[in-house]
C-alpha cells in the first residue's frame, strides 16, 4: 500500500474520530467546567470552601460505586445490584462495628464481594444476561437487608467513640476521609484499567467478546472479577456511608444503581462496552453533584428537579454517543 493511499483513507476517518474523541472524552469535562464557572458567579455560596468540601464528600460515595460500575460497563455488562449492596454494606458495617473496626470494615466487603462473585460466576459461566442476574441480586440483597433489620425497624447504631466513625467523619484540612478513599481508589482504578493486563482484558472483553476469546483473553475470569469488584466497592461505599451517618440506614441506596450507570455513561464510557475511563466517571459524578448542589442553592426549586436535570443530561450524552458513532 502506498503512503498516499493510506493517508487518503485516513483523512476520511480521522476528523470524525477526533471529533468523537473530544466530545466523548472531554464533553463531560467541558460541561463540568462551565457548570462550576457559572455556579460560582451566580451563587456566591457555591464557591465557599465549606460547600466545596461538602460537594466532594457527597460525591465520594458515588465515585466508589461508579468505579466498579465503570469496569462492569466496559466489559459490556451492567450491575443493577449495587444500590441494594450499598445499603446492605452499610447495615452490615453498623452491625459489625460492635466487634471493632476490622469487623465493621471486613464484614460488608466480604458479604457484598461474595454476592458480586456469585453475580459474576452466574454471568460468566451460564451466559445469563447481566441485567437479569443482577436484578435478582438487587431483590435478594434488599430482601436480606429488610429481613435482618426487621423491615427497617431495627437500626444498628455505631458507637460514637468507635474508630470506625473516624473513617467516615475524620478530616484532613476539613476534607473528609471518604474523599481521600475515593481519590485513591480512582487513581488505582485508572491504573488497573490502563496499565495492567487485567485492564486490557476488560477492554477486549467488552470491545469484541468473540475476538477476545480467540485472542486468548480469559473472558470468563475477567467478568467474574469485575462483578466481584463492583460488589465489593458497593459494600465499601455502604460502610463509609454508615461510618459517616453513624448508623446503618436501611432505606438508602434505592435507585442508586441507576445514578451510578448514569454517571458512568455521562463520563463517556460506552454503554455497549469496550471504551471508557475512570476520570470520565469521576467527572460524571462531579457534574451530577454540582447540578444537585445548585438546585439546592436555588432553594425555591423542588429537589425532584435534580433527577429531571440529570435525566436530560444523560439523554444528551447517549444521543451524542449514538450520533458520533455513526
Partner 1 sequence: MPTDPVIEVAGVTKTFAGVRALGDVDFTLRRGEIHALVGENGAGKSTLIKVLTGIHTPDSGSITRNGHISTIYQEVNLVPLMSVSANLFLGREPRNRFGLIDRARRDADAAELLRGYGITADVSSPLGTLAVGEQQMVALARAVAADADVVIMDEPTSSLEPREVETLLGVVRKLHEAGIAIIYVSHRMDELYRICDTVTVLRDGANVHSGPLKELPRIELVSLMLGRSVKEIEKHGTTAFGEGHQADTQPVLEARDLTSKPRIGGVGVSIRPGEVVGLAGLLGSGRTETAKAIIGALPLDRGTVLVAGKPVAHNVKASMRAGISMLAEDRKTEGIIPNLSVRENIVLAALPRLSRFGVTSRSKQDRIVDTFVKRLRIKVSSPEQKVAELSGGNQQKVLLARWLCTEPRILLLDEPTRGIDVGAKAEVQALIDELAREGLAVLLISSELDELLDGADRLIVLRDGSVAGELEGDQLTREHVLTAIAAEVTDDSGDHAGSHQDSR
Which residues form the interface with partner 1 (CB under 8 A)? Answer: 1-3, 5-6, 9-10, 12-14, 17, 191, 194-197, 199-201, 203-204, 207-208, 210-212, 214-217, 270, 274-275
| Least distance (Å) between residue 17 CB and partner 1 | 6
Nearest to 177 by CA among 247, 131, 243, 252: 243
**Shortest reach from residue 218's CB to partner 1, in Å:** 9
**Residue 184 or 308 with smaller CB distance to partner 1:** 184
- Alpha-carbon dihedral angle through residues 284, 285, 286, 288, given to the nearest 10 degrees: 90
Of 16 and 45, the one with the shorter C-beta distance to partner 1 is 16
State which residue, 217 or 229, has the beta carbon closest to partner 1. Answer: 217
Cβ closer to partner 1: 210 or 304?
210
Give least dist CB 198 to partner 1, A.
Answer: 10
C-alpha to C-alpha distance for 267 and 96, rounded to whole angstroms = 35
CA distance 154 to 27: 45
Smallest distance from partner 1 to CB 216, Å: 5
User: Closest separation between CB of residue 6 and partner 1, Å?
Assistant: 7
CB closer to partner 1 out of 98 and 196:
196
Cα 88 from Cα 93, distance rounded (Å): 8
H helices of the chain, in order, are: 3-21, 27-42, 49-74, 82-96, 101-126, 130-148, 163-169, 177-195, 197-207, 209-214, 219-245, 256-266, 278-298, 305-325
Amino acid at each position: 500500500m502506498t503512503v498516499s493511499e493510506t493517508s487518503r483513507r485516513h483523512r476520511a476517518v480521522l476528523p470524525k474520530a477526533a471529533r468523537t474523541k473530544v466530545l466523548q472524552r472531554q464533553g463531560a469535562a467541558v460541561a463540568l467546567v462551565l457548570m462550576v464557572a457559572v455556579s460560582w458567579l451566580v451563587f456566591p455560596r457555591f464557591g465557599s470552601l465549606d460547600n466545596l468540601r461538602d460537594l466532594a464528600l457527597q460525591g465520594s460515595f458515588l465515585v466508589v460505586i461508579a468505579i466498579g460500575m465503570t469496569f462492569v460497563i466496559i466489559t459490556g455488562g451492567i450491575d443493577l445490584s449495587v444500590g441494594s449492596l450499598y445499603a446492605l454494606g452499610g447495615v452490615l458495617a453498623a452491625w459489625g462495628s460492635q466487634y471493632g473496626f476490622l469487623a465493621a470494615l471486613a464484614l460488608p466487603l466480604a458479604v457484598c464481594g461474595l454476592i458480586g462473585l456469585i453475580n459474576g460466576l452466574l454471568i460468566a459461566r451460564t451466559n445469563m444476561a447481566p441485567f437479569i442476574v443482577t436484578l435478582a441480586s438487587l431483590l435478594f440483597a434488599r430482601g436480606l437487608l429488610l429481613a435482618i433489620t426487621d423491615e427497617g425497624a431495627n437500626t444498628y447504631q455505631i458507637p460514637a467513640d468507635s474508630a470506625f466513625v473516624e473513617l467516615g467523619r475524620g478530616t484532613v484540612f476539613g476534607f473528609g476521609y471518604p474523599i481521600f478513599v475515593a481519590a485513591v481508589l480512582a487513581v488505582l482504578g485508572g491504573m488497573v484499567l490502563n496499565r495492567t493486563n487485567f485492564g486490557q482484558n476488560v477492554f477486549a472483553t467488552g470491545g469484541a467478546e468473540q475476538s477476545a476469546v480467540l485472542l486468548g483473553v480469559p473472558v470468563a475470569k475477567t467478568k467474574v472479577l469485575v462483578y466481584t469488584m463492583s460488589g465489593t466497592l458497593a459494600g465499601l461505599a455502604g460502610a463509609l456511608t454508615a461510618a459517616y451517618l453513624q448508623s446503618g440506614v436501611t432505606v438508602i441506596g434505592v435507585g442508586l444503581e441507576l445514578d451510578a450507570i448514569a454517571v458512568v455513561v455521562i463520563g463517556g464510557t460506552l454503554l455497549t462496552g469496550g471504551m471508557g475511563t475512570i476520570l470520565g466517571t469521576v467527572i460524571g459524578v462531579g457534574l451530577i453533584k454540582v447540578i444537585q448542589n445548585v438546585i439546592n442553592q436555588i432553594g425555591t426549586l423542588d429537589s425532584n428537579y435534580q433527577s429531571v436535570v440529570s435525566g436530560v443530561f444523560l439523554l444528551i450524552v447517549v444521543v451524542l454517543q449514538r450520533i458520533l458513532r455513526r
